[in-house]
């Protein structure tokens, strides 16, 4: 059982002991710390926070705890209920709110939940602001409102519709072309809020939708991370219904992956590559993704005369570098599309709009589209952490061993070899070390990952 505090929020497993898991007491403590920070940060008379959640079994309980803590601090709450992470981000700006909290543990299994914390721009807090909240949570400096100054809760269930309208209004989302293409799509909503939002968007785009696991009851029918090995049912459904493609999202709908007409994965890394290809073809510029993302984005960017740069892992890190470099599109290779013309947050709804616009424009199948991009192959593996494992020491040893290679150490250790790379880092969202590799074939990528897993094990034992 685990409690993780990082730039990805306060994330933990439900149940267990206080301070070691995400218990109700921990939820109240961190919600209160956020409230204290918000008052210091915004320094005004009245405060308002948007709160939404994915469909996790623990979500209703967690949202109630968080909202009632905030009103206990004299902060008004806009309750948007079952929602998506990007929808809450959009709602914060439309409400002119002071911040937002999303109750979701993204791709983690059902026993997990988290508080994802937003500022007044609907963007994630950076490491400095997040650190202040953690300090407040460990202090006794949390004052609550008196009985005449309590906040109030207002419900607003319109925001998924409003979010969809914003996507449809984007200049590069070609609604007419998508409608004329008459796509047939199978949607795997992993029984969370993607099962609400994605079919609604597709209906508005004139797409024939076949729903798979779109009941928002939080009972995930498979591991909720949208990876090939978890999506055999989607593959079978695409082939059975002779669909043009399959769409799958994670529980809070900020990650997006596609499946081609043959039931094969388009590749979650290539979600961003394809959307960037479309955007860059119409609005040339620069791109950013994180260090664990495919080199194919660099190749596509340079094809259009732009420059590519990699950030540390974590959405806020990607966003900060995107703003600095004034990029036209960016994101994360895990299927996270960040399109500044919409907002600075990973958004699967925006990704669907851009991808279908590209597909309609190209007038080709999904498999044909995939064949137009450079072929890189990735391996994504992990090692479970144990208390005795000195991760920093292990990574320092790796850094020393490979000091003559091209190294990047802003987030763990990334080693760039001429035809491949490996990135080793401690996860922000799980108690693991991630080992990501990329090479010119799947076998080479897998072999490189296995080689470093073995090397890490040897260092740990020495």
- For residues 51 and 41, is the Cβ–Cβ distance under 8 A? no
Q: From residue 227, give the alpha-carbon distance in Å to each of 113, 230, 316, 358, 392.
A: 20, 6, 23, 23, 28
How would residue 114 be classed by pLDDT, with cut points 50, 70 and 90? very high
Q: Would you state the pLDDT for residue 386?
A: 81
**C-alpha pair distances (Å), 59 with each of 87, 99, 151, 281:** 16, 19, 21, 41
* Residue 319, token pair as written in the block: 């966003």
In tens, the pLDDT along 234-251 reads 999 999 999 999 999 999
Domain 162-370, what fold? Answer: Alpha-D-Glucose-1,6-Bisphosphate; Chain A, domain 3 (3.40.120)
> Which two structure tokens, joined as six digits, stand for 428?
């922000």
Confidence label for 412 from pLDDT (cuts 50, 70 and 90): very high
- Residue 228 scores a pLDDT above 90: no
pLDDT band at 432 (very low <50, low <70, confident <90, very high): confident
Q: Where are the domains of the chain?
A: 3-157, 162-370, 377-461
Strand-pair category, 308-311 with 287-290: parallel
Which position has the token pair 């590069």?
A: 172
Report how far apart, in Å, the C-alpha atoms of 69 and of each of 24, 46, 447 are.
11, 16, 50
- Cα of first residue to Cα of last residue in the chain, in angstroms, is 28
Buried b / exposed e along 141-151 (16+ C-beta atoms within 10 A): eeeeeeeeeeb
- Asked if pLDDT for residue 388 goes beyond 80, the answer is no
For residue 112, what are the β-bridge partners? Answer: 13
Supply the pLDDT for residue 440.
94
Q: How confident is the model at residue 318 (pLDDT cuts 50, 70, 90)?
A: very high
Q: Which two tokens stand for residue 166?
A: 């914003």
pLDDT of residue 2 exceeding 90, the answer is no
Give the model's pLDDT for residue 391.
87
Q: How large is the angle between the packed helices 24-42 and 59-72, nearest 10 degrees?
A: 40
Percent of the chain at pLDDT exceeding 70: 99
Active site residues: 106
What pLDDT does residue 226 have?
A: 87
- Which stretch of 1-5, 69-73, 178-182, 433-437 has the lowest confidence by average pLDDT? 1-5
pLDDT mean over 412-432: 91
Q: How far is CA 277 from CA 69, 342, 460, in A?
A: 45, 17, 42
Using pLDDT thresholds of 50, 70 and 90, give the confidence band for residue 72: very high
Q: How many CA atoms lie within 13 A of 446 on its CB side?
A: 3
* pLDDT of amino acid 9: 82
Phi/psi of residue 293, nearest 5 degrees: -100, 160
Using DSSP's 3-state secondary structure scheme, residue 245 falls into: strand
CATH topology of domain 377-461: TATA-Binding Protein (3.30.310)
| Ramachandran quadrant class, 112 (left: phi over 0; alpha: psi -120 to 50; beta: rest) | beta
Asked which of 127-131, 139-143, 208-212 is least confident by mean pLDDT, the reply is 139-143
pTM here is 0.93
Cα-flanking dihedrals φ and ψ of residue 4, to 5°? Answer: -120, 130
For the structural domain made of 3-157, what CATH number should be given? 3.40.120.10
Q: Dihedral of the CA atoms 127, 112, 12, 270 (nearest 10)?
A: -30
Residues 237-294: pLDDT tens digits? Answer: 999 999 999 999 999 999 999 999 999 999 999 999 999 999 999 999 999 999 999 9
52 sits in which H/E element: strand 48-53
Q: How confident is the model at residue 399 (pLDDT cuts 50, 70, 90)?
A: very high
């Amino acid at each position: 059982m685990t409690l993780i505090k990082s730039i990805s929020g306060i994330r933990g497993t439900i149940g267990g002991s206080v301070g070691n898991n995400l218990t109700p007491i921990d939820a109240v403590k961190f919600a209160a710390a956020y409230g204290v920070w918000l008052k210091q940060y915004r320094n005004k008379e009245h405060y308002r926070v948007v709160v939404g959640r994915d469909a996790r079994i623990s979500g209703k309980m967690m949202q109630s705890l968080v909202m009632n803590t905030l009103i206990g601090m004299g902060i008004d709450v806009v309750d948007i209920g079952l929602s998506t992470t990007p929808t809450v981000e959009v709602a914060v700006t439309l409400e002119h709110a002071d911040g937002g909290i999303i109750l979701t543990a993204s791709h983690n299994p059902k026993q997990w939940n988290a508080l994802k914390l937003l500022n007044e721009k609907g963007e994630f807090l950076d490491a400095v602001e997040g650190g202040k909240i953690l300090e407040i949570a460990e202090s006794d400096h949390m004052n609550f409102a008196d009985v005449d100054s309590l906040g109030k809760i207002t419900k607003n269930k319109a925001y998924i519709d409003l979010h969809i309208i914003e996507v449809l209004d984007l200049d590069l989302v070609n609604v007419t072309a998508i409608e004329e293409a008459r796509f047939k799509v199978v949607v795997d909503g992993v029984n969370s809020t993607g099962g609400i939002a994605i079919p609604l968007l597709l209906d508005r785009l004139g797409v024939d939708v076949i729903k798979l696991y779109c009941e928002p009851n939080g009972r995930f029918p498979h591991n909720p991370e949208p990876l090939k090995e978890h999506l055999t049912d989607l593959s079978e459904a695409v082939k059975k219904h002779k669909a043009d493609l399959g769409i799958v999202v994670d529980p809070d709908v900020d990650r997006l992956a596609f499946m081609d007409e043959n039931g094969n994965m388009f590749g979650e890394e290539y979600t961003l590559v394809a959307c960037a290809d479309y955007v860059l073809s119409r609005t040339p510029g620069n791109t950013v993704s994180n260090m664990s993302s495919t080199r194919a984005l660099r190749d596509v960017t340079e094809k259009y005369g732009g420059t590519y740069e990699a950030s540390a892992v974590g959405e806020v890190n990607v966003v900060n570098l995107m703003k600095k470099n004034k990029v036209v599109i960016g994101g994360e290779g895990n299927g996270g599309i960040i399109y500044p013309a919409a907002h600075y947050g990973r958004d699967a709804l925006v990704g669907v709009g851009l991808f279908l616009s590209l597909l309609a424009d190209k007038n080709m199948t999904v498999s044909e589209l995939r064949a137009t991009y450079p072929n890189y192959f990735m391996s994504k593996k992990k090692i479970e952490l144990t208390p005795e494992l000195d991760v920093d020491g292990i990574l320092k040893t790796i850094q020393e061993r490979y000091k003559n290679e091209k190294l990047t150490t802003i987030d763990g250790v990334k080693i760039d070899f001429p035809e491949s790379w490996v990135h080793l880092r401690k996860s922000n969202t799980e108690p693991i070390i991630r080992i990501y590799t990329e090479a010119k074939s799947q076998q080479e990528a897998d072999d490189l990952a296995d080689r470093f897993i073995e090397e890490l094990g040897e260092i740990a034992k020495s």
